[in-house]
């Protein structure tokens, strides 16, 4: 079996032709797809994609099966030992996915660690490296066959520097650089982005609404954030701060947020806020039973009235803010992911307030709009990171 790097080294032709074939090859590595789907994802013309796929077929790099009617089916990568890796470095958990690039996206090897980076990057890093090694081994490959690495973090990332945007917030510290550290350990370029951004990327790439033009992915866990895709382009903003809905102001005189603001949405529906609401409402003897968000979710599922009300109200608050996003971007779909979606009450609350505060035409189901839970669930951000790592290979690294 070949290493995908050998495929790239064998690409010949003019610089533009080589660039186009590289884009098409990476799009196929991300997901076996029809030529129409590849054109949409690469933003290349159908004619360019058709030419590139045919050339790659002749060179024995990809295979394009035919339908019963003789039409071209999905193009897929031929046998390779190359592996793509995606890592989600959450506060309270780490998820690693690894996939042989000649396999379907649903055949990933997955590792999950209940201890996240809340304990500090230096303490978490050895465990993350072990998880990557174990996931890659499950694919039947070794670490030297890792071709790409993408990383998702619940923090703002400057797309120009591939590093944290200032100010660097807890649990990260100035000088922490997980992309550099993990990339060096695997000897590959590593790419990093905000986890909500990558959740949106995964949902548009692998979800049932894969052809949606405008996608908003909202992650509700320890913090709150949104990833926004418009015309197949991830909206990052000048310094990677686009989509930070967790720091939109709910109450100018409200609780202090770790960002330095007051009354941010995160201080109302973030994990710490919800746990605190439950602890205040519970009798003194029962408050100690609720230390983490999972405690609140578990109790809500067991019909605890306080926990059910807290999560339902969080959904109603979220729905009001999603309405503003729908008025601004008029999305095809809003996907809600993150730990809090384990309780159905969150989405119920959203459905109550979203139509009340959004323009009717922006959220009318009759027009094709949908509000739904993440299909990819807890793997969404890591799957998006895997896509990010492969997309980063579109432009070959500069010599020297």
pLDDT in tens, 298-324: 999 999 999 999 999 999 999 999 999
Predicted local confidence at residue 12, as pLDDT: 60
Q: Show the low-confidence residues of the chain (pLDDT under 70).
A: 1-3, 8-14, 66-72, 210, 284-285, 395-400
Alpha-carbon distances of 224 from 267, 316, 369, 381, rounded to whole Å: 10, 14, 22, 14
Written as six digits, the tokens of 370 are: 């949908």
135, HSE (Cβ side, Cα atoms, 13 Å): 29
Question: Do the Cβ atoms of 93 and 342 come closer than 8 Å?
Answer: no
Exposed e or buried b per residue across 349-383, where buried means at least 16 C-beta atoms within 10 angstroms of its C-beta? bbeebbbeebeeebbeeeeebebeebebebbbbbb
**Quick one: the chain helix, strand, coil %, rounded to 5?**
45, 20, 35
Beta strands in the chain (DSSP E): 62-66, 72-77, 83-89, 94-100, 109-113, 146-153, 157-158, 163-164, 190-194, 214-220, 224-230, 233-234, 333-337, 370-373
Predicted local confidence at residue 71, as pLDDT: 64
Give CA–CA dist 81/225, Å, rounded.
36
Calculate ∠ Cα 205-209-212, nearest 5°. Answer: 85
Predicted local confidence at residue 3, as pLDDT: 67
Alpha-carbon distances of 160 from 126, 236, 238, 282, 301, rounded to whole Å: 27, 10, 8, 47, 43
Question: Do the Cβ atoms of 244 and 238 come closer than 8 Å?
Answer: no
Question: Do the Cβ atoms of 363 and 369 come closer than 8 Å?
Answer: yes
Quote the pTM value.
0.90
Question: Do the Cβ atoms of 142 and 386 come closer than 8 Å?
Answer: no
14, HSE (Cβ side, Cα atoms, 13 Å): 4
| Domains detected in the chain | 4-77 (1.10.10.10), 83-200+381-391 (3.30.420.40), 208-374 (3.30.420.40)
């Amino acid at each position: 079996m070949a290493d995908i790097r050998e495929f790239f080294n064998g690409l010949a032709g003019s610089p533009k032709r080589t660039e186009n074939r590289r884009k098409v090859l990476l799009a196929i590595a991300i997901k076996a797809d029809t030529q129409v789907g590849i054109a949409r994802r690469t933003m290349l013309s159908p004619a360019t994609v058709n030419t590139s796929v045919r050339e790659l077929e002749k060179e024995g790099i990809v295979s394009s099966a035919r339908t019963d009617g003789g039409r071209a089916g999905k193009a897929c990568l031929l046998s390779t030992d190359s592996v793509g890796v995606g890592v989600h470095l959450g506060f309270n958990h780490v998820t690693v996915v690894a996939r042989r690039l000649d396999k379907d996206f649903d055949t990933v090897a997955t590792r999950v660690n209940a201890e996240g980076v809340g304990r500090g990057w230096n303490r978490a890093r050895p465990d993350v490296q072990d998880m990557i090694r174990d996931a890659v081994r499950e694919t039947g490959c070794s670490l030297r066959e890792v071709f790409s690495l993408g990383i998702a973090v619940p923090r703002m990332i400057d797309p120009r520097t591939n590093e944290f945007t200032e100010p660097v917030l807890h649990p990260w510290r100035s000088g922490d650089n997980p992309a550099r550290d993990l990339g060096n350990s695997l000897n590959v370029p590593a790419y990093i982005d905000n986890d909500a951004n990558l959740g949106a990327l995964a949902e548009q790439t692998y979800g049932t609404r894969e052809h949606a033009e405008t996608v908003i992915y909202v992650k509700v866990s320890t913090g709150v954030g949104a990833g926004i895709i418009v015309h197949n382009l991830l909206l990052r903003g000048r310094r990677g701060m686009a989509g930070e809905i967790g720091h939109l102001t709910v109450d100018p005189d409200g609780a202090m947020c770790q960002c330095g603001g007051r009354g941010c949405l995160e201080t109302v529906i973030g994990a710490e806020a919800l746990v605190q609401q439950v602890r205040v409402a519970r009798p003194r003897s029962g408050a100690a039973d609720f230390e983490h968000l999972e405690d609140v979710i578990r109790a809500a599922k067991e019909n605890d009235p306080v926990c059910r009300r807290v999560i339902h109200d969080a959904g109603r608050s979220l729905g009001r803010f999603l309405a503003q996003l729908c008025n601004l971007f008029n999305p095809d779909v809003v996907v809600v992911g993150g730990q809090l979606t384990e309780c159905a009450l969150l989405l119920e609350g959203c459905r109550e307030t979203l139509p009340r505060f959004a323009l009717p035409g922006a959220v009318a189901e009759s027009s094709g709009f949908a509000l739904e839970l993440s299909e990819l669930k807890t793997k969404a951000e890591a799957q998006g990171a895997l896509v990010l790592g492969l997309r980063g290979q579109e432009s070959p690294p500069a010599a020297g």
